[in-house]
Amino acid sequence: MKAFEKNIRRVEPYVPGEQPQHKVIKLNTNENPYPPAPGVKKVLEQMDADRLRLYPDPEASVLVEALAEHYGVGKGQVFVGVGSDDVLSMCFLTFFNSEKPVLFPDITYSFYKVWAELYRIPYECQKLDESFRIVREDYYKENGGVIFPNPNAPTGIYEGLEFVEDIIAHNQDVIVIVDEAYIDFAGKSALELLERYENLIVVQTFSKARSMAGMRIGYAIASPELIKHLNDVKYSFNSYTMNQTSLACGVEAVKDQAYFERTVKQIVDTRAWAVKQFEELGFTCLDSGANFVFVTHPAHDAGELFEELKKDGIYVRYWGSGRIRQYLRITIGTREEMEALFAFFRNKFID
Ligand code: PMP
Protein backbone atom coordinates (compact mmCIF):
# COMPACT_ATOMS: atom_id res chain seq x y z
CA MET A 1 0.00 0.00 0.00
CA LYS A 2 1.37 3.44 -0.88
CA ALA A 3 1.70 5.81 2.10
CA PHE A 4 -0.92 8.25 0.77
CA GLU A 5 -3.43 5.46 0.36
CA LYS A 6 -3.76 5.14 4.11
CA ASN A 7 -5.53 8.50 4.18
CA ILE A 8 -8.07 7.88 1.47
CA ARG A 9 -11.67 7.75 2.61
CA ARG A 10 -12.91 4.40 1.39
CA VAL A 11 -16.63 3.90 1.04
CA GLU A 12 -18.90 1.25 -0.31
CA PRO A 13 -21.20 3.36 -2.46
CA TYR A 14 -24.95 3.11 -2.90
CA VAL A 15 -25.79 1.22 -6.08
CA PRO A 16 -28.60 2.94 -7.98
CA GLY A 17 -30.94 0.99 -10.27
CA GLU A 18 -29.84 0.76 -13.89
CA GLN A 19 -30.61 3.60 -16.29
CA PRO A 20 -30.50 1.85 -19.66
CA GLN A 21 -29.97 4.23 -22.58
CA HIS A 22 -32.01 2.18 -25.04
CA LYS A 23 -35.78 1.89 -25.00
CA VAL A 24 -37.10 -0.55 -22.43
CA ILE A 25 -40.14 -0.91 -20.18
CA LYS A 26 -38.58 0.70 -17.16
CA LEU A 27 -40.12 -0.44 -13.89
CA ASN A 28 -36.91 -0.49 -11.83
CA THR A 29 -36.35 2.91 -10.18
CA ASN A 30 -39.82 4.09 -9.15
CA GLU A 31 -40.04 6.91 -11.66
CA ASN A 32 -43.45 8.28 -12.61
CA PRO A 33 -44.68 7.05 -16.02
CA TYR A 34 -46.45 10.36 -16.72
CA PRO A 35 -44.79 13.64 -17.75
CA PRO A 36 -44.39 16.54 -15.29
CA ALA A 37 -47.15 19.17 -15.08
CA PRO A 38 -47.66 21.04 -18.40
CA GLY A 39 -46.40 24.29 -16.80
CA VAL A 40 -42.96 22.70 -16.40
CA LYS A 41 -42.68 22.16 -20.15
CA LYS A 42 -43.67 25.78 -20.75
CA VAL A 43 -40.96 27.04 -18.37
CA LEU A 44 -38.35 24.97 -20.19
CA GLU A 45 -39.46 26.33 -23.57
CA GLN A 46 -39.28 29.90 -22.32
CA MET A 47 -35.95 29.61 -20.45
CA ASP A 48 -33.52 32.38 -21.31
CA ALA A 49 -30.08 30.79 -21.66
CA ASP A 50 -28.44 34.15 -20.90
CA ARG A 51 -29.64 33.83 -17.29
CA LEU A 52 -27.27 30.92 -16.90
CA ARG A 53 -24.31 33.35 -16.73
CA LEU A 54 -25.46 34.17 -13.24
CA TYR A 55 -25.32 32.03 -10.14
CA PRO A 56 -28.72 30.90 -8.94
CA ASP A 57 -30.29 32.31 -5.79
CA PRO A 58 -28.46 30.45 -2.99
CA GLU A 59 -31.60 30.68 -0.83
CA ALA A 60 -33.74 29.10 -3.55
CA SER A 61 -36.37 31.62 -2.43
CA VAL A 62 -38.98 31.13 -5.15
CA LEU A 63 -39.19 27.40 -4.54
CA VAL A 64 -38.99 27.68 -0.75
CA GLU A 65 -41.85 30.20 -0.86
CA ALA A 66 -43.97 28.04 -3.19
CA LEU A 67 -43.54 25.02 -0.92
CA ALA A 68 -44.19 27.03 2.26
CA GLU A 69 -47.42 28.36 0.79
CA HIS A 70 -48.47 24.95 -0.49
CA TYR A 71 -48.00 23.25 2.89
CA GLY A 72 -49.12 26.21 5.02
CA VAL A 73 -45.82 26.53 6.89
CA GLY A 74 -43.38 29.41 7.34
CA LYS A 75 -40.62 30.09 4.80
CA GLY A 76 -38.13 29.42 7.55
CA GLN A 77 -39.46 25.87 7.84
CA VAL A 78 -38.45 24.70 4.36
CA PHE A 79 -35.07 23.47 3.13
CA VAL A 80 -34.57 22.43 -0.50
CA GLY A 81 -31.85 20.29 -2.03
CA VAL A 82 -30.73 18.35 -5.10
CA GLY A 83 -33.20 15.50 -4.69
CA SER A 84 -34.13 14.14 -1.31
CA ASP A 85 -30.84 12.21 -1.40
CA ASP A 86 -29.04 15.54 -0.99
CA VAL A 87 -31.48 16.68 1.71
CA LEU A 88 -31.21 13.40 3.64
CA SER A 89 -27.43 13.37 3.39
CA MET A 90 -27.33 16.95 4.77
CA CYS A 91 -29.64 15.83 7.59
CA PHE A 92 -27.30 12.95 8.50
CA LEU A 93 -24.36 15.35 8.57
CA THR A 94 -26.20 17.98 10.58
CA PHE A 95 -28.23 16.01 13.10
CA PHE A 96 -26.62 12.64 13.65
CA ASN A 97 -23.58 13.48 15.73
CA SER A 98 -23.98 11.31 18.79
CA GLU A 99 -21.78 8.50 20.08
CA LYS A 100 -25.00 6.51 20.34
CA PRO A 101 -26.21 4.63 17.27
CA VAL A 102 -28.72 6.02 14.80
CA LEU A 103 -31.57 3.53 14.35
CA PHE A 104 -33.18 2.48 11.09
CA PRO A 105 -34.80 -0.70 9.72
CA ASP A 106 -32.62 -3.56 8.40
CA ILE A 107 -34.65 -3.66 5.18
CA THR A 108 -35.03 -0.08 4.01
CA TYR A 109 -33.55 2.53 1.71
CA SER A 110 -29.97 1.32 1.43
CA PHE A 111 -28.52 4.83 1.19
CA TYR A 112 -28.96 5.33 4.99
CA LYS A 113 -26.20 2.85 5.71
CA VAL A 114 -23.95 4.44 3.08
CA TRP A 115 -24.30 7.94 4.60
CA ALA A 116 -23.76 6.59 8.11
CA GLU A 117 -20.54 4.91 6.92
CA LEU A 118 -19.44 7.93 4.90
CA TYR A 119 -19.88 10.34 7.81
CA ARG A 120 -18.72 7.76 10.38
CA ILE A 121 -21.96 7.83 12.29
CA PRO A 122 -22.61 4.78 14.47
CA TYR A 123 -25.81 2.99 13.47
CA GLU A 124 -27.86 -0.06 14.38
CA CYS A 125 -30.35 -1.70 12.05
CA GLN A 126 -33.63 -2.88 13.58
CA LYS A 127 -35.11 -6.03 12.11
CA LEU A 128 -38.47 -5.83 10.35
CA ASP A 129 -40.87 -8.52 11.60
CA GLU A 130 -41.87 -11.61 9.57
CA SER A 131 -44.45 -9.60 7.65
CA PHE A 132 -41.77 -7.02 6.81
CA ARG A 133 -43.22 -4.41 9.16
CA ILE A 134 -41.31 -2.00 11.36
CA VAL A 135 -41.49 -2.99 15.05
CA ARG A 136 -42.15 0.27 16.89
CA GLU A 137 -40.80 -0.96 20.25
CA ASP A 138 -37.36 -1.43 18.67
CA TYR A 139 -37.14 2.35 18.48
CA TYR A 140 -37.86 2.98 22.17
CA LYS A 141 -34.27 2.35 23.29
CA GLU A 142 -31.60 5.01 23.70
CA ASN A 143 -30.14 6.14 20.40
CA GLY A 144 -28.43 8.95 18.48
CA GLY A 145 -31.36 9.58 16.13
CA VAL A 146 -33.99 7.73 14.13
CA ILE A 147 -34.77 7.60 10.42
CA PHE A 148 -37.29 5.50 8.50
CA PRO A 149 -39.22 5.88 5.27
CA ASN A 150 -43.01 5.88 5.35
CA PRO A 151 -44.05 4.09 3.18
CA ASN A 152 -40.95 1.96 3.67
CA ALA A 153 -38.87 0.97 0.66
CA PRO A 154 -38.56 -1.53 -0.88
CA THR A 155 -41.51 -3.11 0.95
CA GLY A 156 -43.99 -0.31 0.15
CA ILE A 157 -45.67 -0.77 3.52
CA TYR A 158 -47.27 2.38 4.96
CA GLU A 159 -47.84 2.87 8.68
CA GLY A 160 -50.55 5.22 9.93
CA LEU A 161 -49.92 8.45 11.78
CA GLU A 162 -50.54 6.95 15.21
CA PHE A 163 -47.63 4.55 14.61
CA VAL A 164 -45.33 7.33 13.33
CA GLU A 165 -46.25 9.62 16.22
CA ASP A 166 -45.54 6.87 18.74
CA ILE A 167 -41.95 6.53 17.47
CA ILE A 168 -41.47 10.31 17.48
CA ALA A 169 -42.97 10.65 20.96
CA HIS A 170 -40.57 8.01 22.32
CA ASN A 171 -37.57 9.84 20.87
CA GLN A 172 -37.95 13.47 21.85
CA ASP A 173 -34.28 13.80 22.87
CA VAL A 174 -33.04 13.06 19.37
CA ILE A 175 -33.95 14.00 15.81
CA VAL A 176 -36.46 11.77 14.04
CA ILE A 177 -36.49 11.93 10.23
CA VAL A 178 -39.51 10.56 8.38
CA ASP A 179 -38.56 10.01 4.74
CA GLU A 180 -41.81 10.47 2.82
CA ALA A 181 -40.56 9.92 -0.73
CA TYR A 182 -43.71 7.89 -1.51
CA ILE A 183 -46.27 9.49 0.82
CA ASP A 184 -48.48 10.92 -1.94
CA PHE A 185 -49.46 7.38 -3.00
CA ALA A 186 -50.23 6.33 0.57
CA GLY A 187 -52.08 8.35 3.17
CA LYS A 188 -51.58 11.01 5.81
CA SER A 189 -48.20 12.74 6.02
CA ALA A 190 -46.34 13.29 9.27
CA LEU A 191 -46.33 17.02 8.39
CA GLU A 192 -49.32 17.55 10.69
CA LEU A 193 -47.21 16.34 13.64
CA LEU A 194 -44.71 19.19 13.20
CA GLU A 195 -46.76 21.48 15.42
CA ARG A 196 -46.33 19.10 18.34
CA TYR A 197 -42.80 17.74 17.86
CA GLU A 198 -39.82 20.04 17.51
CA ASN A 199 -37.52 17.02 16.96
CA LEU A 200 -39.30 15.96 13.74
CA ILE A 201 -38.05 16.43 10.16
CA VAL A 202 -40.24 15.40 7.23
CA VAL A 203 -38.44 14.86 3.92
CA GLN A 204 -40.23 14.65 0.57
CA THR A 205 -39.27 14.71 -3.11
CA PHE A 206 -40.34 15.86 -6.59
CA SER A 207 -38.98 12.61 -8.07
CA LYS A 208 -42.02 10.38 -7.63
CA ALA A 209 -45.51 11.92 -7.48
CA ARG A 210 -44.33 15.08 -9.29
CA SER A 211 -42.64 13.20 -12.15
CA MET A 212 -39.37 15.10 -11.90
CA ALA A 213 -36.68 12.59 -10.95
CA GLY A 214 -34.43 14.03 -13.66
CA MET A 215 -34.69 17.54 -12.25
CA ARG A 216 -33.41 16.56 -8.78
CA ILE A 217 -35.52 18.42 -6.21
CA GLY A 218 -36.13 17.34 -2.63
CA TYR A 219 -37.11 19.21 0.52
CA ALA A 220 -37.28 19.00 4.27
CA ILE A 221 -39.92 20.64 6.45
CA ALA A 222 -39.23 21.14 10.15
CA SER A 223 -39.04 23.84 12.82
CA PRO A 224 -37.22 27.08 11.87
CA GLU A 225 -34.45 26.17 14.35
CA LEU A 226 -33.69 22.83 12.68
CA ILE A 227 -33.91 24.34 9.19
CA LYS A 228 -31.40 27.04 10.23
CA HIS A 229 -28.95 24.32 11.34
CA LEU A 230 -29.43 22.51 8.04
CA ASN A 231 -28.78 25.70 6.08
CA ASP A 232 -25.62 26.42 8.10
CA VAL A 233 -24.24 23.03 7.10
CA LYS A 234 -25.39 23.42 3.51
CA TYR A 235 -23.64 26.81 3.21
CA SER A 236 -20.49 25.15 4.58
CA PHE A 237 -20.69 22.56 1.83
CA ASN A 238 -22.00 24.21 -1.35
CA SER A 239 -24.04 27.42 -1.49
CA TYR A 240 -25.50 26.92 -4.97
CA THR A 241 -27.12 23.53 -4.82
CA MET A 242 -30.29 24.39 -6.73
CA ASN A 243 -29.88 25.47 -10.36
CA GLN A 244 -32.03 28.15 -12.04
CA THR A 245 -33.93 25.67 -14.18
CA SER A 246 -34.87 23.40 -11.28
CA LEU A 247 -36.07 26.36 -9.25
CA ALA A 248 -38.34 27.66 -12.02
CA CYS A 249 -39.69 24.22 -12.96
CA GLY A 250 -40.19 23.22 -9.33
CA VAL A 251 -42.44 26.23 -8.72
CA GLU A 252 -44.63 25.32 -11.70
CA ALA A 253 -44.98 21.73 -10.52
CA VAL A 254 -46.12 22.81 -7.05
CA LYS A 255 -48.72 25.21 -8.52
CA ASP A 256 -50.56 22.56 -10.55
CA GLN A 257 -52.45 20.68 -7.83
CA ALA A 258 -55.12 19.35 -10.20
CA TYR A 259 -52.56 17.67 -12.47
CA PHE A 260 -50.74 16.27 -9.45
CA GLU A 261 -53.93 14.73 -8.05
CA ARG A 262 -54.95 13.31 -11.41
CA THR A 263 -51.67 11.51 -12.08
CA VAL A 264 -51.35 10.24 -8.50
CA LYS A 265 -54.86 8.79 -8.79
CA GLN A 266 -53.99 7.12 -12.09
CA ILE A 267 -51.01 5.41 -10.46
CA VAL A 268 -52.96 4.38 -7.36
CA ASP A 269 -55.75 2.94 -9.59
CA THR A 270 -53.23 1.07 -11.76
CA ARG A 271 -51.63 -0.27 -8.58
CA ALA A 272 -54.95 -1.67 -7.32
CA TRP A 273 -55.61 -3.34 -10.68
CA ALA A 274 -52.01 -4.63 -10.92
CA VAL A 275 -52.14 -6.21 -7.44
CA LYS A 276 -55.18 -8.23 -8.56
CA GLN A 277 -53.30 -9.37 -11.68
CA PHE A 278 -50.26 -10.38 -9.63
CA GLU A 279 -52.45 -12.34 -7.25
CA GLU A 280 -54.24 -14.12 -10.09
CA LEU A 281 -50.82 -15.21 -11.33
CA GLY A 282 -49.99 -16.66 -7.91
CA PHE A 283 -47.73 -13.86 -6.66
CA THR A 284 -47.86 -12.61 -3.08
CA CYS A 285 -47.78 -8.79 -2.94
CA LEU A 286 -46.97 -6.86 0.21
CA ASP A 287 -49.64 -4.24 0.87
CA SER A 288 -48.28 -1.21 -0.98
CA GLY A 289 -48.76 2.47 -0.23
CA ALA A 290 -46.15 3.42 -2.83
CA ASN A 291 -45.78 3.64 -6.63
CA PHE A 292 -44.26 0.16 -6.62
CA VAL A 293 -45.12 -3.30 -5.38
CA PHE A 294 -42.86 -5.84 -3.69
CA VAL A 295 -43.78 -9.32 -4.93
CA THR A 296 -42.70 -12.93 -4.61
CA HIS A 297 -43.83 -16.14 -6.32
CA PRO A 298 -43.81 -19.55 -4.63
CA ALA A 299 -42.93 -21.44 -7.81
CA HIS A 300 -40.62 -19.08 -9.68
CA ASP A 301 -37.18 -17.93 -8.60
CA ALA A 302 -37.05 -14.13 -8.38
CA GLY A 303 -33.49 -13.97 -9.77
CA GLU A 304 -34.47 -15.98 -12.82
CA LEU A 305 -37.58 -13.89 -13.42
CA PHE A 306 -35.48 -10.74 -13.14
CA GLU A 307 -32.99 -11.99 -15.77
CA GLU A 308 -35.68 -13.20 -18.14
CA LEU A 309 -37.67 -10.01 -17.85
CA LYS A 310 -34.55 -8.05 -18.64
CA LYS A 311 -33.88 -10.12 -21.76
CA ASP A 312 -37.39 -9.20 -22.83
CA GLY A 313 -36.68 -5.50 -22.29
CA ILE A 314 -38.60 -5.21 -19.00
CA TYR A 315 -36.48 -3.81 -16.17
CA VAL A 316 -37.49 -4.37 -12.53
CA ARG A 317 -35.41 -4.21 -9.32
CA TYR A 318 -33.88 -7.25 -7.66
CA TRP A 319 -31.43 -7.40 -4.76
CA GLY A 320 -30.94 -11.13 -4.46
CA SER A 321 -29.78 -11.28 -0.88
CA GLY A 322 -30.97 -12.10 2.63
CA ARG A 323 -34.66 -12.16 3.46
CA ILE A 324 -35.62 -10.38 0.23
CA ARG A 325 -33.79 -12.84 -2.05
CA GLN A 326 -37.07 -14.10 -3.54
CA TYR A 327 -38.65 -10.66 -4.03
CA LEU A 328 -38.88 -8.29 -6.96
CA ARG A 329 -39.70 -4.62 -6.61
CA ILE A 330 -41.79 -3.49 -9.54
CA THR A 331 -42.62 0.14 -10.22
CA ILE A 332 -46.19 0.90 -11.27
CA GLY A 333 -45.98 2.07 -14.87
CA THR A 334 -48.77 2.98 -17.28
CA ARG A 335 -51.57 0.48 -17.76
CA GLU A 336 -49.98 -0.51 -21.13
CA GLU A 337 -46.56 -1.11 -19.55
CA MET A 338 -48.13 -3.26 -16.85
CA GLU A 339 -50.11 -5.18 -19.49
CA ALA A 340 -46.79 -6.02 -21.20
CA LEU A 341 -45.39 -7.23 -17.86
CA PHE A 342 -48.40 -9.47 -17.21
CA ALA A 343 -48.34 -10.79 -20.80
CA PHE A 344 -44.72 -11.82 -20.16
CA PHE A 345 -45.68 -13.63 -16.94
CA ARG A 346 -48.66 -15.37 -18.54
CA ASN A 347 -46.52 -16.72 -21.40
CA LYS A 348 -43.76 -17.75 -19.04
CA PHE A 349 -46.00 -19.41 -16.47
CA ILE A 350 -47.96 -21.41 -19.07
CA ASP A 351 -44.76 -22.77 -20.71
N1 PMP B 1 -35.92 8.00 -0.05
C2 PMP B 1 -36.38 6.83 -0.52
C3 PMP B 1 -37.05 5.89 0.42
C4 PMP B 1 -36.23 6.50 -1.87
O5 PMP B 1 -36.65 5.32 -2.35
C6 PMP B 1 -35.60 7.43 -2.74
C7 PMP B 1 -35.49 7.13 -4.22
N8 PMP B 1 -34.42 6.37 -4.59
C9 PMP B 1 -35.12 8.62 -2.19
C10 PMP B 1 -35.31 8.88 -0.85
C11 PMP B 1 -34.35 9.61 -3.00
O12 PMP B 1 -35.06 10.16 -4.04
P13 PMP B 1 -34.63 11.54 -4.71
O14 PMP B 1 -33.17 11.80 -4.36
O15 PMP B 1 -34.84 11.31 -6.16
O16 PMP B 1 -35.50 12.58 -4.15
How large is the angle between the packed helices 61-71 and 244-255, nearest 10 degrees? 20
Cis peptide before 224 (omega within 30 of 0): no
- Poorest-pLDDT segment among 13-17, 112-116, 220-224, 261-265: 13-17
SS3 state at 56: coil
- Could you give the CA distance from residue 225 to residue 222 in angstroms, rounded to a whole number? 8
Q: Which atom of ligand 1 is nearest to the CA of 218?
A: 16
351 pLDDT tier (thresholds 50, 70, 90): low
Per-residue model confidence as pLDDT tens digits over 136-160: 999 999 999 999 999 999 999 999 9
Q: Which atom of ligand 1 is nearest to the CA of 179?
A: 1
pLDDT of 350 > 90? The answer is no
**50 C-alpha to ligand 1 centroid (Å):** 32
List, in order, residues 6 or more apart from 284 with CB less than 8 Å away.
295, 296, 297, 298
Residue spans of beta strands (DSSP E) within the chain: 25-26, 78-81, 102-105, 123-126, 145-149, 176-179, 200-205, 218-221, 284-285, 292-296, 314-315, 328-331
Query: Hey, which of 114, 178, 207 would you mutate to test ligand 1's pocket, going by the most ligand atoms within 8 Å of its Cβ?
Result: 207
Q: Which residues line ligand 1 (CB under 6 A)?
A: 83-85, 109, 149, 153, 179, 181, 205, 207, 213, 218
- Could you give the CA distance from residue 26 to residue 16 in angstroms, rounded to a whole number? 14
**327 C-alpha to ligand 1 centroid (Å):** 20
Residue 287 is predicted with a pLDDT of 98
* Shortest-distance Cα residue to atom 6 of ligand 1: 181
235-249 burial: b if 16+ Cβ within 10 Å, else e: eeeeeebbbbbbbbb
Residue spans of beta strands (DSSP E) within 173-234: 176-179, 200-205, 218-221
- Could you give the CA distance from residue 228 to residue 274 in angstroms, rounded to a whole number? 43
**92 C-alpha to ligand 1 centroid (Å):** 15
| Nearest partner of 215 among 118, 80, 92, 99, judged by Cα | 80
Query: Hey, which of 85, 88, 216 would you mutate to test ligand 1's pocket, going by the most ligand atoms within 8 Å of its Cβ?
Result: 85
Query: Hey, which of 30, 67, 205, 217 would you mutate to test ligand 1's pocket, going by the most ligand atoms within 8 Å of its Cβ?
Result: 205
pLDDT of 237 > 70? The answer is yes
- Could you give the CA distance from residue 64 to residue 234 in angstroms, rounded to a whole number? 15
Length, in residues, of the chain? 351
* Shortest-distance Cα residue to atom 12 of ligand 1: 84
**180 C-alpha to ligand 1 centroid (Å):** 9
Summary mean pLDDT of the chain: 97
pLDDT of 80 > 80? The answer is yes
| Nearest partner of 107 among 305, 331, 319, 332, judged by Cα | 319
pLDDT of 18 > 90? The answer is no
* Torsions phi, psi for 245 (to 5 deg): -65, -45
- pTM for the model: 0.97
Provide, rounded to the nearest whole percent, the portion of the chain with pLDDT above 70.
100
